[in-house]
Amino acid sequence: MKIEQTDDLAACHALRRAVFIEEQGVSEAEELDDKDAGAIHLLARRDGRPVGTARILLQGDTGKIGRVCVVAQARGTGLGAALIRAALDALRDRPGITRAKLGAQTHALGFYEKLGFTAFGPVYDDAGIPHRDMIRDL
């Protein structure tokens, strides 16, 4: 398994389309926004095939991790946690970035808590899916 920063947006978009649009029913208009051009993208490959991705947006002293997805056949392998750890490492390499934030689907709160994130604020709807913001210091 290899996770790297990438400019291969087509591969990232294909993964996000499969997971968010086709599997979770998020509309294409909500999934594909104008923030990809200025983002850091991570791509995980297994045997050369894209199997997971994440996007990082820099906002002041905070890196916002989002669009984290893993294809169905690669779930339960530790890839999701490896993607988050890779995102945290990428943020640590950026001067002035001191914390990471994300919007977690509520069913995944425990997953992110194990990675050092703490939930705050109310539950909110994002693309028809309940979410809660989470944060952690780097």
Chain segment 23-66, per-residue pLDDT in tens: 999 999 999 899 999 999 999 999 999 999 999 999 999 999 99
Average pLDDT over all residues of the chain: 96
- Cα–Cα distance, 111 to 90 (Å, whole number): 20
User: Are 138 and 92 contacting, i.e. CB atoms less than 8 angstroms apart?
Assistant: yes
- For 81-93, what is each residue's pLDDT tens digit? 999 999 999 999 9
User: Are 63 and 97 contacting, i.e. CB atoms less than 8 angstroms apart?
Assistant: yes
- Specify the pLDDT at position 24: 93
**Strand (E) or helix (H) holding 54:** strand 49-59
Q: 2-98 domain in CATH 3.40.50.970? A: no
- Cα–Cα distance, 3 to 48 (Å, whole number): 11
- Specify the pLDDT at position 75: 95
Entry pTM = 0.95
